[in-house]
Amino acid sequence: MTRTSKRPSYKLEDVKKLIRDNNIFINSNAQEDAWDDFNWKLDDIRKCLLKLKIGHFYKTEPHKNNAELMIDIYKAKNIMKDINIYVHFYIIPGGNLIINSFKEL
């Protein structure tokens, strides 16, 4: 059985606070895709994530390798200029945001 929900597992304001406080880490695959798709460094990704709105939320679901870990997925069109993004992330105990995927939608 899959557990997906239309309500995010992590409050967007909490996510944004972690970004502002620099409590953020990025998975190497996400950084590779962000570079390939947009030529973006982490600072660009950060600016983009700060523009996320709850309306961009797509779904939350358990990580494919750990059912206990929920991942929030956002799809945002025209979030910056004509950039469309697909991003998913989670917060780890201790309060760090892990950007698990970041690519062009």
Site for another protein, rule CB under 8 A: 22, 24-28, 31-32, 35-43, 46, 63, 65-66, 69, 80-83, 90, 92-94, 96, 98, 104
The residue (of 2 and 65) whose beta carbon lies closer to another protein is 65
The residue (of 17 and 54) whose beta carbon lies closer to another protein is 17
The residue (of 54 and 67) whose beta carbon lies closer to another protein is 67
Instruction: Give the Cα separation of 27 and 35 in Å (integer).
Output: 13
Q: How far is the CB of 65 from another protein (least distance, A)?
A: 5
Give residue 95's region: left, alpha or beta (phi > 0; psi -120 to 50): left
Instruction: Give the Cα separation of 78 and 57 in Å (integer).
Output: 14
Count CB-CB contacts under 10 A for residue 43. 8
